[in-house]
Amino acid sequence: MLQYKAPVMDMKFLIEDVFKYYKHYESYPEFAEATPDLVDAILQECAKFCENELLPLNQSGDKEGCQFDNGVVTTPTGFKAAYNKYVEGGWQSLSHPVEHGGQGLPPSLGMAKQEMMGTANWSWAMYPGLSHGAMNTIQSHGTQEQKELYLTRLTEGTWTGTMCLTEPQCGTDLGQVKTKAIPNDDGTYDIVGTKIFISAGEHDLTENIIHIVLARLPGAPEGTRGISLFIVPKIQVDQQGNLGEGNQVTCGAIEDKMGIKASSTAVLNFDNAKGVLIGPKNKGLECMFTFMNTARVGTALQGVCASELAYQNSLLYAKDRLSMRALTGKKCPDKVADPIIEHPDVRKMLMTQKAISEGGRAMIYYTAKIVDEIEMAKTEEARKVADDRLGFITPILKAFLTEMGCESTSHGMQVFGGHGYIKEWGMEQIVRDVRISTLYEGTTGIQALDLLGRKILLTRGKSLKAFSKEVLRFCKDKSMISKNPHKRQMNKFIWALSKNTANWQQYTMRLALKAKKDRDIVGSASVDYLMYSGYIMMAYFWAQMAQTAYEKLATDVENRDFYRAKIKTAEFYFERLLPRTKSLAKTMMADPKTLMQLDEDLLSFL
């Protein structure tokens, strides 16, 4: 019973008006074909594919799940047929280099495609989605021979890819990896070990799966400094790309999970499987970050996708469900009760969902432009500048948007009341599916430590200063009448945004000073600091959307209600959600002793 209509108008609002994608594309001759007409056609056709092919498989796939039989994994009914249509339509190759069979369109356009696919059916979208990270890793760190051998098949979608990091004894702490890589005389390596939680690690959609595997060479240093990276195909491949024998990569089991049941999460056993080194020896983790950053932005998108799907369905339900009368009097006197959308608390939940979905989409699309800049950088200096920007934003996106996605889907379930707890409506599935997003690719706590510990304190806040400067420049420009005829309407956003941004910088300095005296402050403050940062970052994009909406309304634009809704949602965000920063500021500055003062015996006292 889940319904989904791709929000193409909102996507085009961001692409065309807020972030000026076409001007951005004109900066790169390689993107010359990304014209407004072509982009519009791609969005419309992708919307049809997602609405007509993927959405109908969402609930049925959850109910059926993946089947495991002696190492063989069968995906739910309809998944393989949908994947074949996906490949035939050229969707996998959309944003990949022409030299490997891709269409050469911008990665940012691929992100829009990924959003629609993920909203319609996240479990299905994970199968081709994991391939993008594997492809980016090979493209960035592989030899020319490796690129020619693997990228064409991955680009066309006849093969898929995975990343194999986690093992039974370690999660995020990859310094504990035990998988071995034993050198052979022919330059290959025998890979021995077990990897767990491998998304799309085994399935029946493609003829081969290319695993990107972390392992240790003999005599390698302990910890993360001694990890190398290997390409290990499920089926061995000769130099011409022909499939040969099986490669001693077996699926020992698939996990029985809370959600995303239609996506196989595999236990993979490597029993002297043949692999080849990718990148320098003992630098595997550095190379893997190419894959991990891609995956983390994709995981951030999951929070937005889940929020959007929950919002669309709870909105439809709230308009139709009759219960009690509005406090201000009957709204539908000819009916036994008023629709629940007339009740303020329901409106608050719906508006929160809308603000999270559209604000999160803006954050993703802003970041997608940075990904374009990294991919197309002509100099190492330009690439590093863009990469530093992405490195600062990524942990905020991944953790903040997935946490907010969980909140939004919970609101959606609440709007449905008791019906939200019943499987047929699909709301409880969205809640189950999105919950993993705060866990994989680094939990919220890990992302928070990365942000505050590595991206802020170790760099003396360099990236924060750069981002804050951008925000404050926007505030200054929009507060000047000569540059902004909508200054009066924008004041309510500009004042709050500039004040919060200044506070962000000040609190960061105070935390840095506190951390010099007590390192526990980093751990105790990090999650609250990340969420604090996320609310301010989202406020920046809501202010931009409001400004753009005012500009559009000053013309003869059609669909004027769309732009009015943008402004009203921005007002809601600034009045109802941004003030959460006040309590977060209080808690993130609190002394860590309240967390650490109980010893283990007292914590476990019953």
Instruction: Determine the pLDDT at residue 1.
Output: 86
Instruction: Determine the pLDDT at residue 605.
Output: 58
Instruction: Give the residues across from 276 on adjacent strands.
Output: 231
Residue 133 pLDDT class (50, 70, 90 cuts): confident
| 201 contacts 164 by C-beta, under 8 angstroms | yes
pLDDT, one tens digit per residue, over 520-576 is 999 999 999 999 999 999 999 999 999 999 999 999 999 999 999 999 999 999 999
pLDDT, one tens digit per residue, over 247-274 is 999 999 999 999 999 999 999 999 999 9
Average pLDDT score over the chain: 95
Instruction: Give the residues across from 161 on adjacent strands.
Output: 210
Residues 6+ apart with CB under 8 A from 155: 92, 93, 96, 97, 100, 101, 102, 135
pLDDT, one tens digit per residue, over 149-199 is 999 999 999 999 999 999 999 878 888 999 999 999 999 999 999 999 999
pTM: 0.96
pLDDT, one tens digit per residue, over 188-199 is 999 999 999 999
Instruction: Determine the pLDDT at residue 224.
Output: 87
Instruction: Determine the pLDDT at residue 604.
Output: 72
Residue 601 confidence (pLDDT) above 90: no
In 3D space, the residue among 527, 528, 536 whose CA is nearest the CA of residue 499 turns out to be 536
pLDDT, one tens digit per residue, over 11-61 is 999 999 999 999 999 999 999 999 999 999 999 999 999 999 999 999 999
d(CA 390, CA 292): 12
Instruction: Give the residues across from 183 on adjacent strands.
Output: 189
Mean pLDDT of 380-402: 94
Residue 62 confidence (pLDDT) above 80: yes
- Which tokens is 584 given? 């977060």
Tokens 């590093």 correspond to what residue? 384
pLDDT, one tens digit per residue, over 313-352 is 999 999 999 999 999 999 999 999 999 999 999 999 999 9
| 588 contacts 448 by C-beta, under 8 angstroms | no
Give the amino acid at 597.
Q
Percent of the chain with pLDDT over 70: 99
Neighbours of 527 (CB within 10 A): 22
Residues 6+ apart with CB under 8 A from 75: 61, 66, 127, 203, 204, 205, 262, 264
| 214, HSE (Cβ side, Cα atoms, 13 Å) | 32
Instruction: Determine the pLDDT at residue 606.
Output: 58
Residue 599 confidence (pLDDT) above 90: no
| 251 contacts 266 by C-beta, under 8 angstroms | yes
d(CA 148, CA 100): 7
Residues 6+ apart with CB under 8 A from 25: 31, 32, 34, 106
Establish whether 441 is a catalytic residue.
Answer: yes
Pairing of strands 159-164, 208-215: parallel
Q: What is the 3-state secondary structure (H, E, C) of 268-323?
A: EEEEEEEEEECCCCCCHHHHHHHHHHHHHHHHHHHHHHHHHHHHHHHHHHHHHCEC
Neighbours of 365 (CB within 10 A): 22
Pairing of strands 189-199, 208-215: unpaired
Pairing of strands 265-277, 189-199: antiparallel
DSSP secondary-structure letter at 206?
S
The CATH T-level fold of domain 287-446 is Butyryl-CoA Dehydrogenase, subunit A; domain 3 (1.20.140)
Instruction: Determine the pLDDT at residue 291.
Output: 61
Mean pLDDT of 76-87: 98
Mean pLDDT of 432-443: 95
Among candidate residues 202, 308, 403, 441, the one labeled active-site is 441
d(CA 161, CA 203): 11
Residue 355 pLDDT class (50, 70, 90 cuts): very high
